[in-house]
Structure 1
Amino acid sequence: MVDLMLDDLIGLGKKANKIKESKWGKKVFFIKNIHLNYTNICVSKCKFCAFAKDEGDDDSYSMDIDDIIGYIAKNGIDANEIHIVGGLHPHHKFDFYVDVVKSIKEHFPEKVVKAFSAVEIDYFSKISDLSVQDVLKKLKSAGLDMMPGGGAEIFEPKVRNIICPEKISGDRWLEIVEIAHREGIKTNATLLYGHLESFEDIVRHLEKIRNLQDKTGGFIAFIPLSFHPENTFLSHLKPATGVDDLKVIALSRIMLDNVPHIKAYWVMLGEKTAQVALKFGADDLDGTIVREKITHSAGAKSKEGLTLDELVFMIKSANLIPVERDSFYNEIRVY
């Protein structure tokens, strides 16, 4: 599989696109969603992160439940999905996070709550003295519908120990996600590339995702994330090239034959590269997002959000079929 990354770009893209079209034809999916980053205060010091702050920093913030409900009411009233991730706050109790989910469901029962990465779940387990299974049961009972795929970064220990030494290991990430799948909670999965990893590290990462999917069937989508070095401790690195972006998208589609969807995450790729990625194996553009903070803290040049009309235009101008979906890829409207 490493040889595929050395293949010519167009040949690789054709292989990936053939697989994509065998699954979804000309359809490209998107969702009306909103990202909610409830705090940037974080006890972890990941070298690739430009978002996290220490408590007391001038630009640090933490939303309480009223803030969260107000933000959704103002910015996400038409959204079908609330995507929630944040820093590992040093003082919040686990009950706070349960109450966040419960309050959102009470105010917006029709919306899917996709919340908390495996890293956050591990942290909740530590601060509550509960098992991961019990943490997930409580969150699911409160209204958690699914989990995002963040925190996977790169599973290779040597690289992971450099870019995020305080974060849970790759094996722990896989363990927590497997428990979530057993509890009936679907998740996404991610890969962060374009930093210190090798092609071999990327292939091994994808193999572990594929193996867990064979075991649980719980992954809905895979999202390759292109690293943005600006304002991070790795700012000396050059970002991934457009060729790198397209090759990783294509390789993901080829290797992850058992994961239904591959996302071209336009926030990190930029709108134009994301559009081209739809011909290199990606079948999903994520969504409207409204206001993305994490990648833009690292200098992303994409917009903070896209309108439905902009997403439809991106897809149609690529001679593909826009399909609005829900969080579980049930079709809402074909444009």
Structure 2
Amino acid sequence: MTVSREIDDILQRGADGGRITPEEALLLYTEAPFHALGEAADAVRRRRYPDNIVTYLIDRNINYTNVCVTACKFCAFYRAPKHSEGWTHPTEEILRRCGEAVELGATQVMLQGGHHPDYGVEYYEELFSSVKQAYPQLVIHSIGPSEILHMAKVSGVSLDEAIARIKAAGLDSIAGAGAEMLPARPRRAIAPLKESGERWLEVMELAHRQGVESTATMMMGTGETHAERIEHLRMIRDVQDRTRGFRSFIPWTYQPENNHLKGRTQATTLEYLRLVAVARLFFETVPHLQASWLTTGKDVGQLSLHMGVDDLGSIMLEENVISSAGARHRSNLQELIGMIRSADRIPAQRDTLYNRLAVHHTPADDPTDERVVSHFSSIALPGGGAGRSLPLVDVN
């Protein structure tokens, strides 16, 4: 028992799979004892996944352009139109990078970029269909609601038509990109030119109704309040109640380098871990919870496995957006598997839909490809690193 019977009751209900209200979630986030909170969240994980398996993914984040008209204050990746450092990769370069990813065992690519003023639905149709034709085995888990809104505006078509066309061209799943903070006040503060949180969710709901599932994300640490963090969760859960289209929730922390926010605020490790645990208790209808070791560090990523997390994310063979804002955490396949195993969990490689491709019951089952390392960041190279092959990176 904790000092508060009310908190005890909420934790027990959440651990048993019952629904907790946003007000109760806020109380847990701010007042629940840390260990009791983590224990309740992990009880949810154990009930959902009694085989004790924690999954990971091999993928590559390929950026097609860094030209963007949105100018989000936290972003260090974008360049304004006509900027001397702006670039767009031709389809041939994107396909080359897809080929490298396939060779290293990737099952998914994330094709993401800025809101280029000239790129409408037609551009994405050509991009997705080209990737699917060349590499039909790759799942295209890509773009986000912001890009869909932008392409529909450029092409002068409805959101429903834009989604239907890019789905037909090969888009398999929508990334949670662009969520950042969904409540109005913090969203206006960090991304005043972006769509509202309600509009972001509207696109997701339309996509879910067309059979295109997605992930949901959250960026912590740009000055939002505790209540606004919980409101972000509430907004996502309301859509999930109607569609069941979010496969997983992925909270991550703001990175402070090379952007207009200049690191004025950041989330602490404790704030992050508490949010992870509350999310597992709050999202009884979202199947999976993923840790972001890329932004928080491998030690915090491993700790999150004791706070309800069942997925440690990806060995991302290339990543530029968060890296350009200061994320320096790298890993390799053996180390990621070791992080899972040393947390007393069983590692398993998954695909985008969380189908398990290989379960590593013992170390003898572990893959041994030393080339699978995260991550090559090409953003610092002229032209976005066009023509550069994936290097062998020393994780240390």
The TM-score by the shorter chain falls in which range?
over 0.9
Counterpart CA distance in 1 for 2:178 and 2:119 is 20
Match of 1:308 in 2: 333
Q: What pairs up with 1:50-129 in 2 under 5 angstroms?
A: 50-77=76-103, 78-129=105-156
In the alignment, the residues of structure 2 paired with residue 151 and residue 327 of structure 1 have an alpha-carbon distance, to the nearest angstrom, of 19
AA matched with 1:20: R
Matches within 5 A, 1:199-278: 199-278=226-305
* Counterpart amino acid of residue 43 in structure 2: K
Answering whether residue 38 of structure 2 is matched by residue 38 of structure 1, we say no
Which letter maps to 1:145? Answer: D
Q: 2:164 aligns with which of 117, 120, 137?
A: 137
Tell me, yes or no, if structure 1 residue 174 matches structure 2 residue 198: no
For residues 8 and 138 of structure 1, the distance between their equivalents in structure 2, rounded to whole angstroms, comes to 49
Give 4+ residue runs of structure 1 displaced > 4 Å after superposition: none
Give 1:2's aligned residue: 26
| % identical aligned pairs | 34
Q: Distance in 2 between matches of 1:89 and 1:131?
A: 19
Alpha-carbon displacement from aligned partner over 1:144-176 (angstroms, at most 9, x marks no partner): 111101111112111111110000100101100
Q: Equivalent residue for 2:321?
A: 294
2:88 is paired with a residue whose SS is coil
- 8 A Cα contact 2:66 2:113, kept in partner: yes
Partner-residue secondary structure (3-state), 2:316: coil
- TM-score of the superposed pair, with normalisation by structure 2: 0.82
Match of 1:48 in 2: 74
Counterpart Cα distance in 2 of 1:293 and 1:139: 24
1:301 positional shift = 2.1
Aligned residue for 2:185?
158
- How far did residue 236 of structure 1 move? 4.1
Would the aligned equivalents of 1:34 and 1:76 in 2 still touch at CA under 8 Å? no
Q: Which is higher, the Rg of structure 1 or of structure 2?
A: 2
Distance between the aligned counterparts of 1:141 and 1:334, measured in 2? 32
Q: Deviations over 1:95-122 (max 9, x none)?
A: 1111110000000001111111000000
Instruction: Provide structure 1 residue ranges, at least 5 long, that are not aligned to the other structure.
Output: none
Question: Normalising by the residue count of structure 1, what TM-score does the alignment of the two structures yield?
Answer: 0.96
Shift of 1:58: 4.1
Which whole-Å deviations, capped at 9, do the CAs of 1:218-252 have from their partners, x for residues lacking one?
A: 00010102111221111141421111111111111
Greater RCO, CA 8 A, separation 6+: 1
Question: Which ranges of structure 2 fall in alignment gaps of 5 or more residues?
Answer: 1-24, 361-396
Whole-angstrom distance in 1 between the partners of 2:357 and 2:221: 35
**One-letter code aligned to 2:271:** D
Cα-to-partner distance string for 1:267-286 (whole Å, 9 max, x where unaligned): 11211111111111111111
> SS of 1:20's equivalent?
helix
Q: CA RMSD in A?
A: 1.3
Q: Report the Cα distance in structure 2 between the residues aligned to 1:228 and 1:109, rounded to whole angstroms.
A: 34
Q: In the alignment, residue 24 of structure 1 is paired with which amino acid?
A: Y
Distance 1:289 1:320 in 2: 21
Q: Distance in 2 between matches of 1:299 and 1:310?
A: 21
Q: How many residues of Structure 1 are paired with residues of Structure 2 in the alignment?
A: 333
